[in-house]
Structure 1
Amino acid sequence: MVHDRLAVGMRRRATAEDVVNRLGARHGSDSTRGRLRRPPAVDIHPPPAIASRAPDRGGGEAQAAPADVSRRRRAQPQPNLTEMGMSLLAKFVTASLALSFILASAPARAADPREVTDDRLLKADTDGANWLMYNRTYSGWRFSPLEQINTSNVKKLVPKWIFAGGTLGDQQTTPIVNDGVMFTTSTSLTLNRVQAVDAVTGALLWKHDRKIPDDVGALVRVIPHNRGVALHKNRVIFGTLDAHLVALDAKTGKQAWETKIADYSDGYFMSAAPLVAKGKIVIGIAGPGEMGPRGFIEAFDAETGKSQWRWYSIPAAGEPGSETWSADTWKIGGGAVWHAGTYDPATNLLYYGTGNPAPWIADMRKGDNLYTMSAVALDLDSGKLKWHFQYLPNDAWDYDTMAEHHVIDVVRNGQTHKAVVQANKLGFVYTLDRLTGKFLSAVPFVKSINWGGPDPTTGKATENPGRRPTMGGPPVEVCPSLLGGTGWQPKVFNPKTGYMYIPANEFCMRYAYVADLTYKRGQLFTGVTTEHFSRSEQAGVLRAFDVNQNKVVWEWSNRTPLISHTLSTAGNLVFQGTAEGKVVAVDAKDGKELWSFNLGTPQSGGIISYAVDGKQYVAVAAGGTLRSQVWFGKEPKWAEAARVNYGDIIVVFGLAD
């Protein structure tokens, strides 16, 4: 448990210069004791040839920060805050600052961050100062044990620094922090970018750019995005838009190795953050649900990048489950696994959610379509399927169930169950036995549901009549929309309250199938038209779900949908982003709003918390995308989300000094 101790200091009023200095990341010189040492200059040359690398593709360039970066602060542009942000900031500037609190257990910044060993990853739940993997821990909770920032002082949060990633892709990264160094990703139509920055000042330490081929698949051209990196020893590992896995030196950004995973010409790409456990890198593939090829999960040796095993989400002819596909439809059946998984070291099982089948027109692929739309448990060592549970056979609405499965021990009627819990697009919170996959319960967490629902005893989906479109027929109104009761944006679990916090959506869609569709390699293979609409004035609702009582206990509402991230902390706080560009903090016990800030761009990436030199920070990745205009542009209630500017920024908050 992390405890606070009171540091007695002088109370004073912040001046405008103080705030500008903090925003500009002015925190002492390079000679300051405990300051991060910058990596040496890096030669900007293509990396050496490696096995499995495409001969004419890839290659990255690592660029170190200028040698005199700390002495050239005035040359760095200051962040351009929105009018609302400036108004809030002015209030902070004129207010008296409270006494500061210091985290007794938080380490000072190391000159050289420690290697991220398998043991450190295994014990990540006890390392509150760092955020070492996508979900912080293998359990998927996204819960920070830090409590310096809490319900009594969260109103004193101010921006400490802002970092511009420099791209205009869909910013979905979750920043990763190790001993005062933050690693973040950005994307565009032309590159994958990984950057290391000082987690206290926001100063760039190095940047690695990887050029993306001009002929990547159609889906990448619509929504280029990446959700972050994984760390292992002294390596930074990420997937690319042209379906490669790349490892960089954590100190310099220079490429260490690269492995081609799939042919991007088939529509494959990598968007998920990898998961590292027991010396293996595990990652699923993106693209199949919209482009057609079979989805899969693959494990690689973390030292070499060599493949260890691959599990396909769609069985080939003659394999168990192949009988659930008609004719040869399995060959182009989709089933992407495009989100990070979770892991239970006690069982050595990986838990993943699989995506929708392709095409989206259910009539073109008769049968249950295993193992799409499922929870699957795989043995980490072998990749063998241990169990599966299919949430929705023969999906007709792009309700892919790829979201994370929280590893939680739930108590029902006095009995403890080792479970995995998923809130998904279907609008229900499902609880499964994590040892066997046995269905335990399913409870709705949204009100806008008309497609049907799971049988309360077996969990098998039962559909309402008239909700499936027909090829060439009129649009059908279906709830939730294909963005789901909740989508890929992570849900979080707080073990102190026993609540799962779900960024939920109360809106529907008009959904139609085209009259004819033919598969073409590398082209979109969906076959639908869709339009989102809402009958509610509050389309976005953050809901607290008690996993033991199996019910919603409170909610916080927002006018626009919550296609954004969530964080829970031991300070009894829940942070939530919004599509119109806000980040808010609410009380974890009752949902009362305590603080908000206008980021000026849609909040679409991860929200994390970490500590350096005894101070807790909250980092928010934001930027959004033009697809907000596509999704929300026809619904007048969501106009503010459709017209907000998009970008690529990390905003880090801390308590006013």
Structure 2
Amino acid sequence: MPDKPSPFARILLICAALVTGSCGLQGSSVQKGDGDWIRTGRTDDEQRFSPLTQIDASNANRLGLVWYDDLNLSRGEEATPLVVDGVLYVSTAWSMVKAYDAATGKPLWAFDPEVPRRQLVKACCDAVNRGVAVWNGRVFVGTLDGRLIALNGRTGKPVWSVQTTDERAPYTITGAPRVIKGKVIIGNGGAELGVRGYVGAYDVNTGRRIWRFYTVPGEPGKPDGEVSDPQMAAAAKTWSGDAWWRQKAGGGTAWDAFAYDPELDLLYIGTGNGSPWSRAARSEGRGDNLFLSSIVAVRPDTGKYVWHYQLVPGDEWDYTATQHMILADLKIGGEVRKVLMQAPKNGFFYVLDRATGKLISAEKYVPANWAEKIDLSTGRPVENPEARYSERGKPFYATPSSLGGHNWPPMAYNPGTGLVYIPAQELSVLFVGDPAFRKSPIGYNTATRLGTRDPSLTPPIQAAKGYLLAWDPVRQREAWRAPRDTFGNGGVLTTAGDLVVQGTGTGFLKVMRASDGKELWSQWLQAGVLAAPMTYSVRGKQYLAVLAGCGGVYGSACRMVDKDGRRPNLDWLLVFALDGKVQLPAAPAAQPMVLDPPPVTGSPAAAARGRDKYARYCAVCHGYDAVSLGNQPDLRYSPTLGSDAWFTILLEGGLSDSGMASFADVLDRGAAEDIRQYLIRIAHDRKAKPESTTTKSSEHSS
């Protein structure tokens, strides 16, 4: 047997391992190598910038497919793959995880957490998942039913699993975990349905919870026994009444955005909207309601609060601050500043001092009518008084809509060009308060009349549009834009090869020159692309990877692919490189959709009642006005409208194994009949007046 190394030699080996990062990559922005992509944003600063240059502006037109995998799903795909030591790890819809040989595409293992399909009724926006974390030979994933699971990176076998949420409440996890200093950081979602948000840190080795930071207060005067107790006591003073805590709601869920600065040792958390949306129903129409729509900085070791900045005091437009945050050092006014940048839903691009939380600048990157500007002296928006629909008792057409000027698809920052690339969009939505609101155990709990239209009011944005926006964060102005065919487009990658890469809702993967936006290459992937691409190299060869599969809040963008009928929503993992020759199978032919609704038998009053119930319980999956979101059945065409199978499905859970839960807890047979009569009526309307294929201003919630 070989001699055992001496103690001194063992120390040298340990030190060498730490230098190369193979002992865990704990909380550092240093990559194992430029060819790996080890975090969802590649680095802790979440810039989504790669230094790889083999593929560049001079040769991007030679890109071709080298391998792909059919995920055999028909859901939204939103994850960014990770690559570590030649292995590609990716999560898919239903929180499943797969590992591949990154060079050849050979499957290595697959893990299915077996999320109960009935959990879908607790999800605001499809069974999506935005990615995994990798650390020290383990892969971490959050599941739609609230578990955090550690997997063996070589085998895919579970190492530990912890339930991070109350299974009785409508919590979900769709975001990617982050591993920082030996802790797995994870938040949750569910504000639309009625929950109280928080972020947790868990030991990477055991899953033991180390700290929890609540983002909105519970019952005043009753501490949670968590690190956030002092902040919650202070935050409670910015809330009014008792509706939020009696409903066990409040919102503020941190479902996606995190970033970390190892030098300052600060973890940045982006928080979500109020629950319910209406401030009148949530907080008697008063107060800033901390920490809704805020960026909160804490110490990752303990969760101890350091600073916060609230973007939307007293939010009631679903203007979350959960959108992608980027850390960078920018020269502003002749001084290099450590900044945090965010383009949240509300339409303003924010640059903050990330050490102190002080606002440096904020300007509109898309049209916004809810506020005139952000006052740099106070950091607060100068609001349009008419925007407060719930307090005024009058509807308000807001832009951005609840989908935002920028939603969850990540933006990217290129230090070479100095530009931030934003998947931007322009939409309007009519906000109407619901004075009769009562919280329901199932469905949306927003205290607004979702999907409402008023022909007497004109939306600020007549027709929705989307584009890739190149934004100069120092000068706070547009550098260039690349128009897209629809709203709801994918996240962004940028590289040192002067490239910007983005997928579109209509199914194209596009490569542009980062400096001026000139399109260099494009390929149709047969399915809408929402996930952000990434790039990596193995044995000196650079690859470009992306998930395709449309769904979630942007499922309606999938319909733009299907102008001549309906194609199946395909879910792919696709990997490209220079001179790739692999071809996808021929795209399935679009299937004509034939409307054959049964006769109208219900009264207009029954249909009106059905419309309200449909908007609350059905629209999140099946689309407002029953215009399908793309990967769920269009109920106007349902053959069950003329049979008792309608009641079997809606009230008895006849399709629960497919994710269609029973609604018997909130609907009786009469209410189910009202919904059916509403759908029959609009099916006849659709048959009499076919829809235009142009993109209209969206009324969809996020």
Give the structure-1-normalised TM-score: 0.77
Matching residue of 1:465: 385
What is the deviation of 1:606? Answer: 2.5
1:378 aligns with 2:294: no
Aligned equivalent of 1:135, options 41, 46, 51: 41
Matching residue of 2:113: 210
How far does the alpha carbon of each residue in 1:522-569 deviate from its partner, in whole angstroms, 9 at most, with x for none?
543123313798847771121111222222211111121143111001
Report how many aligned residue pairs link the two structures. 537
What is the deviation of 1:407? Answer: 1.2
Distance 1:442 1:121 in 2: 30
What is the deviation of 1:601? Answer: 0.6
Distance 1:140 1:631 in 2: 26
Q: Give the gaps of 5 or more residues in structure 1.
A: 1-113
CA contact (8 A) 2:52 2:495 kept: yes
Look up the equivalent residue of 2:170 and give its one-letter code: G
1:599 aligns with 2:505: no
Aligned equivalent of 1:177, options 83, 89, 110: 83
Structure 1 pair 261–510 and aligned structure 2 pair: CA distance change class (3 A) = same
1:579 aligns with 2:473: no
Distance 1:412 1:223 in 2: 41
Aligned equivalent of 2:267, options 346, 350, 370: 350
Distance 1:234 1:126 in 2: 13
Q: What pairs with 1:49-64 in structure 2 (closer than 5 Å)?
A: none
1:341 aligns with 2:243: no
Secondary structure class of the residue paired with 1:225: coil
What is the deviation of 1:641? Answer: 12
Look up the equivalent residue of 1:159 and give its one-letter code: L
Percent of matched pairs sharing the same residue: 37
Secondary structure class of the residue paired with 2:92: strand
Distance 1:638 1:453 in 2: 37
Secondary structure class of the residue paired with 1:242: coil
Distance 1:640 1:403 in 2: 30
Matching residue of 1:7: none
Matching residue of 2:579: 656
Distance 1:638 1:454 in 2: 38
Matching residue of 2:211: 309
Secondary structure class of the residue paired with 2:318: coil
Look up the equivalent residue of 1:369 and give its one-letter code: N
Distance 2:366 2:182 in 1: 40
What is the deviation of 1:309? Answer: 0.3
Distance 1:205 1:118 in 2: 22
Look up the equivalent residue of 1:152 and give its one-letter code: S
How far does the alpha carbon of each residue in 1:281-319 deviate from its partner, in whole angstroms, 9 at most, with x for none?
1111111x1122210011011011100000000123241
Matching residue of 1:44: none
How far does the alpha carbon of each residue in 1:113-169 deviate from its partner, in whole angstroms, 9 at most, with x for none?
x98544376244472201101100000100011011000000110011111222223
Matching residue of 2:336: 416
1:332 aligns with 2:249: yes
CA contact (8 A) 2:49 2:493 kept: yes
Aligned equivalent of 1:564, options 490, 495, 517: 490
Look up the equivalent residue of 2:260 and give its one-letter code: Y
CA contact (8 A) 1:586 1:593 kept: yes
Distance 2:464 2:125 in 1: 28
Matching residue of 1:455: 375
Distance 1:641 1:127 in 2: 46
Structure 1 pair 551–246 and aligned structure 2 pair: CA distance change class (3 A) = same
Look up the equivalent residue of 1:163 and give its one-letter code: D
CA contact (8 A) 1:284 1:340 kept: no
Shifted more, 601-610 versus 160-169: the winner is: 160-169
Secondary structure class of the residue paired with 2:237: helix
Shifted more, 322-331 versus 463-472: the winner is: 463-472
Secondary structure class of the residue paired with 2:96: strand
Aligned equivalent of 1:365, options 282, 285, 292: 282
Matching residue of 1:294: 196
Structure 1 pair 120–382 and aligned structure 2 pair: CA distance change class (3 A) = closer
How far does the alpha carbon of each residue in 1:405-464 deviate from its partner, in whole angstroms, 9 at most, with x for none?
211112111012111111111111111111111111101111354444322332202211
Distance 2:391 2:178 in 1: 40
Secondary structure class of the residue paired with 2:386: coil
Q: What pairs with 1:249-648 in structure 2 (closer than 5 Å)?
A: 249-287=152-190, 289-316=191-218, 317-318=220-221, 319-328=233-242, 329-330=244-245, 331-366=248-283, 367-470=287-390, 475-528=395-448, 529-530=450-451, 535=461, 539-625=465-551, 628=554, 630=556, 645-648=568-571
Look up the equivalent residue of 2:501 and give its one-letter code: F
Distance 2:532 2:167 in 1: 26
Please give the root-mean-square deviation of Cα atoms over the aligned residues, in Å. 2.4
Distance 2:168 2:465 in 1: 37
- The structure whose residues are more often strand, as a share, is 1
Q: Give the gaps of 5 or more residues in structure 2.
A: 1-19, 222-232, 454-458, 581-702
